[in-house]
């Protein structure tokens, strides 16, 4: 590496170190805002976070930084494998925010923050009108930011998708979700007509919060979550925050009449956390730890939540511990009944509580609504009705309140384009699980509690290159095949066909 390249690389890395101090503070404040901050303090706390985030933004918008970063991009062939990824990332981000000034960025942050606070209040009151104006402003600034980007996309919504899952397009999703509907809707009708009776009465028995906390800690320890580098608390809408290399935090929500909700949210967010805790430390050193996409991340969270957590082998493994911590629940319920209960197909209203089979339709509904919001300019005031209509169309259920309908998810307060990554995550992990099966009997590993072996395989094959490869390259690198929803749909048909005794 010549002297000029070294000088520019040093300027870039020194600037990023300083900017990351501000971003680190923003993450801590954001985590606090969503967990223990008093209700009346949330908006002011968000304003502080927006201020600090803008300080970091100003650093990476300076002429010196941009000039140095673009020099790295132009000479990326002479950089090492990690710094060349950084150069490409900085160039891509520069193209995206080139015409966004620090003043504009601060204004956008305040709008997102206000939308988050309004969403919390609206959900608590089950009143969409409290959130309606803020959501309209979120759409306005999303469209404004896309207009300012110097990147061509076939549709406006494609630009938003690219922020979460690089290279993903409406055309790919339309085809993918079309295949899902073609294969899953007929099977859903067969399941509805099945004579199979699955017992669920014990699933709503009262479980104190303290017992659920014990279970949460047990589950995180079981899947190899490192409590010396992570923490857990509660929130309205469970999430994980990758605050720093040794500070990965997860959240959950305890319901005394639905103990399984926390169990599976802990496995889901714990999966996200394992991705963070097993990201190579060298990625943090070279500032590329945030290059993994949301589809990649969701593949891991839903791997632990569903492919492991709802498997027969896992339920058999944790059944005795469940009896120990929740004795009243399992006094008369067997492991087989528990397995069937956590896999019952029951079209319902709440996405994060949805069964594994119908979950894809919750995503399709949001995807279709987002396209209407962004590409078609649908009236924001019409969303509660449109939401309810979609649920009736696909799942045969209709929300009786805004809280169980359009207000149930936090995501739109921060923009549009995230939701499809959940479904993509399911499809990615179905592909790499089939690859893992070439070496291991996964059910035997699970039943034996050998999560260290699973974690090691995931680290070597799924986590190791995630920040360095584009999504389609990444899944091909793991599996040797191009992306396809087939593995996931085959899995759903086989699993639920067996549970419901379908041919």
What's the average model confidence in pLDDT over 224-230? 98
* Tokens (6 digits) for 248: 């990965």
> What is the predicted pLDDT for the residue at 153?
81
pLDDT category at 207 given cuts 50, 70, 90 is very high
Cα separation, 467 vs 304, whole angstroms: 20
> What is the predicted pLDDT for the residue at 149?
87
> What is the predicted pLDDT for the residue at 191?
97
> What is the predicted pLDDT for the residue at 365?
98
pLDDT, tens digit, for every residue of 85-117? 999 999 999 999 999 999 999 999 999 999 999
pLDDT at 503 over 90: no
| Residue 307, C-beta contacts closer than 8 angstroms, at least 6 positions apart | 429, 430, 433
Pair (477, 333) in one structural domain? yes
pLDDT at 216 over 80: yes
Q: How many CB atoms lie within 10 A of CB 415?
A: 19
Residue 26: inside a domain, yes or no? yes
pLDDT, tens digit, for every residue of 353-377? 999 999 999 999 999 999 999 999 9
Taking all residues of the chain, what is their mean pLDDT, rounded to a whole number?
A: 97
What's the average model confidence in pLDDT over 252-270? 97
Pair (223, 357) in one structural domain? yes
What's the average model confidence in pLDDT over 257-270? 97
Pair (268, 390) in one structural domain? yes
Query: Domain residues for 252?
Result: 170-499
Residue 244: inside a domain, yes or no? yes
| Residue 404, C-beta contacts closer than 8 angstroms, at least 6 positions apart | 349, 350
Which of 150, 183, 215 represents a domain boundary (last residue)? Answer: 150
Residue 300: inside a domain, yes or no? yes
Pair (34, 125) in one structural domain? yes
Pair (57, 185) in one structural domain? no
Counting the structural domains of the chain, the total is: 2
pLDDT, tens digit, for every residue of 445-464? 999 999 999 999 999 999 99
DSSP string, 36-64: TS-GGGHHHHHHHHHHHHHHHHHHHTSHH
Pair (243, 371) in one structural domain? yes
Pair (211, 243) in one structural domain? yes
> What is the predicted pLDDT for the residue at 123?
97
Residue 121: inside a domain, yes or no? yes
Q: Which member of 132, 142, 165, 269 is catalytic?
A: 269
* Tokens (6 digits) for 103: 């003043």
Pair (335, 412) in one structural domain? yes
Pair (132, 182) in one structural domain? no
pLDDT at 60 over 80: yes
pLDDT category at 471 given cuts 50, 70, 90 is very high
Domain CATH for 238: 1.10.1370.30
> What is the predicted pLDDT for the residue at 154?
85
Where would I find the H helices in 292-346? Answer: 294-302, 312-325, 335-341
Pair (90, 197) in one structural domain? no
- Catalytic residue list contains 269: yes
Q: How many residues does the chain have?
A: 503
What's the average model confidence in pLDDT over 423-447? 98
Residue 163: inside a domain, yes or no? no
Residue 271: inside a domain, yes or no? yes
Which of 150, 181, 216 represents a domain boundary (last residue)? Answer: 150
Whether the CB-CB separation of 382 and 396 falls below 8 Å is answered with: no
Residue 453: inside a domain, yes or no? yes
> What is the predicted pLDDT for the residue at 411?
97
Residue 233: inside a domain, yes or no? yes
β-pairing, 240-244 with 247-252? antiparallel
Pair (178, 285) in one structural domain? yes
User: Edge-to-edge strands of the sheet including 240-244?
Assistant: 230-234, 247-252, 240-244
Pair (373, 339) in one structural domain? yes
> What is the predicted pLDDT for the residue at 334?
98
Cα separation, 266 vs 428, whole angstroms: 21
> What is the predicted pLDDT for the residue at 152?
72
pLDDT, tens digit, for every residue of 146-201? 999 877 788 999 999 999 999 999 999 999 999 999 999 999 999 999 999 999 99
pLDDT, tens digit, for every residue of 314-330? 999 999 999 999 999 99
Q: How many CB atoms lie within 10 A of CB 67?
A: 11
Which of 117, 150, 183 represents a domain boundary (last residue)? Answer: 150
What's the average model confidence in pLDDT over 123-134? 98
Residue from 11, 164, 25 nearest 86 by CA: 11
């Amino acid at each position: 590496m010549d002297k000029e390249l070294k000088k520019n690389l040093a300027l870039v890395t020194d600037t990023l170190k300083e900017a990351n101090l501000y971003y680190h503070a923003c993450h801590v404040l954001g985590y606090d805002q969503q967990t223990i901050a008093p209700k009346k303090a949330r908006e002011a706390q968000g304003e502080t976070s927006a201020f600090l985030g803008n300080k970091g933004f100003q650093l990476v918008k300076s002429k010196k930084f941009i000039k140095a970063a673009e020099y790295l991009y132009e000479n990326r062939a002479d950089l090492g494998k990690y710094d060349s990824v950084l150069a490409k990332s900085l160039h891509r981000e520069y193209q995206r925010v080139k015409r966004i000034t620090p003043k504009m960025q601060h204004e956008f942050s305040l709008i997102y923050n206000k939308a988050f606070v309004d969403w919390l209040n609206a959900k608590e009151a089950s009143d969409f009108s409290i959130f309606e104006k803020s959501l309209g402003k979120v759409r306005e600034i999303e469209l404004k930011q896309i207009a300012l980007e110097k990147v061509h996309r076939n549709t406006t919504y494609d630009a938003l998708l690219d922020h979460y899952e690089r290279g993903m397009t409406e055309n790919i999703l339309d085809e993918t979700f079309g295949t899902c509907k073609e294969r899953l809707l007929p099977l859903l009708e067969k399941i509805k007509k099945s004579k199979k009776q699955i017992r669920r009465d014990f699933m709503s028995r009262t479980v104190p919060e303290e017992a659920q906390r014990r279970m949460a800690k047990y589950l995180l320890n079981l899947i190899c979550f490192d409590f010396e580098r992570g923490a857990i608390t509660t929130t309205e809408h469970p999430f994980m925050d990758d605050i720093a290399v040794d500070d990965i935090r997860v959240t959950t929500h305890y319901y005394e009449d639905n103990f399984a909700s926390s169990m599976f949210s802990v496995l889901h967010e714990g999966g996200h956390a394992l991705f963070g805790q097993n990201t190579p430390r060298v990625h943090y050193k070279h500032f590329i730890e945030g290059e993994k996409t949301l589809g990649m991340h969701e593949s891991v969270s839903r791997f632990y939540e569903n492919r492991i957590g709802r498997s027969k082998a896992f339920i058999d493994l944790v059944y005795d511990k469940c009896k120990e911590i929740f004795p009243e629940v399992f006094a008369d319920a067997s492991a087989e009944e528990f397995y069937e209960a956590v896999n019952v197909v029951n079209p319902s209203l709440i996405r994060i509580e949805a069964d594994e089979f119908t979950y894809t339709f919750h995503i399709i509904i949001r995807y279709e609504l987002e396209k209407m919001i962004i590409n078609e300019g649908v009236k924001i005031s019409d969303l509660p009705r449109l939401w309810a209509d979609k649920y009736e169309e696909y799942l045969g259920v209709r929300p009786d309140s805004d809280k169980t309908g359009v207000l149930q998810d936090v995501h739109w307060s921060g923009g549009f384009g995230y939701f499809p990554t959940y479904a993509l995550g399911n499809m990615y992990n179905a592909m790499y699980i089939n690859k893992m099966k070439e070496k291991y009997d996964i059910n035997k590993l699970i039943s034996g509690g050998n999560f260290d072996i699973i974690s090691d395989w995931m680290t070597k094959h799924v986590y190791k290159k995630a920040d360095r490869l584009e999504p389609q390259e990444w899944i091909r690198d793991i599996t040797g095949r191009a992306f396809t929803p087939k593995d996931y749909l085959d899995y759903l048909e086989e699993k639920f066909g067996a549970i419901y005794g379908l041919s």
